[in-house]
Amino acid sequence: SMVKLWIKKGDVTVNACVVKDPSMTIDPNHDVIAFRDETITYVENFTVMMNKRAGVVSARKDTRHTTVFDDLSPAHRYDHLSIAGRLDKDTEGLIILSTDGDLIHQLTHPKKNVFKTYLVVCDRLIDSVQPLLEPMTLLDGKNQPYTPQMPIIVFHNKNTVELKIKEGKFHQVKRMFQAIGHEVVYLKRTAIHHVILDATLNPGQYRMLTEIELAQLRKK
């Protein structure tokens, strides 16, 4: 594994001593572990919010494209880190990455009905958002027709709409706007459930979730 390789290269220290034996037992509550001089804090689960930048794919590995995992520090690329709610390559905004399988399940399982909020900018003026609230038929990723649940319109001004949807199927937001005759030119997810993207995170940056945010994510 990568960790064994780092240990072999002398990148890992415990209490300021270089570790050479990967099987060494440590007490994460008392020992100070560092990777290339960066102290690593032991956490039961690792959950971060990232402001995904446009042009990177929501996957662990991709032979042709940069992935959101490439934007993580090597020390944070845990084997069991999963993405809660992927975003298209050209879409920006909030993604949550976590080693907590229960949390991932709660955020991504269709039955859990978790709202996701998107900021949508279209190519031209949107006269009325009313057509978005009418039943429409879209195609999902397997080209199967479905009727999306009614979105909640948070805000509408000229060619910009902020809306909340529950499903988030393949290109759903873009296809909803296409169905009412508009081309989406910019799309950003601003919230998942009750957690709002930290405005101080530049595209490609991430930070750990606070205890309050973690509790908000688990809120029914």
Cβ neighbors of 99 (< 8 A, separation 6 or more) are 45, 46, 47, 78, 80, 81, 82
What is the C-alpha to C-alpha distance for residues 189 and 174, in angstroms, rounded to an integer? 12
Catalytic residue (one of 71, 88, 140, 198): 88
**What are residue 140's phi and psi, to 5 degrees?**
-90, -170
Name the residue among 132, 120, 123 with its Cα closest to residue 176: 132
**Residue 132 CB contacts under 8 Å (≥ 6 apart), including other chains:** 151, 153, 161, 163, 176, 177, 180
- Indicate if 127 belongs to the active site: no
* Contact call for residues 109 and 75 (beta carbons, < 8 A): no
The values of phi and psi at residue 82, to 5°, are: -120, 160
- Return the bridge partners of 119, or none: 162, 188
CB 179 within 8 A of CB 186: no
Which tokens in the block code for residue 30?
A: 């008392």
**Residues annotated catalytic, as ranges:** 88
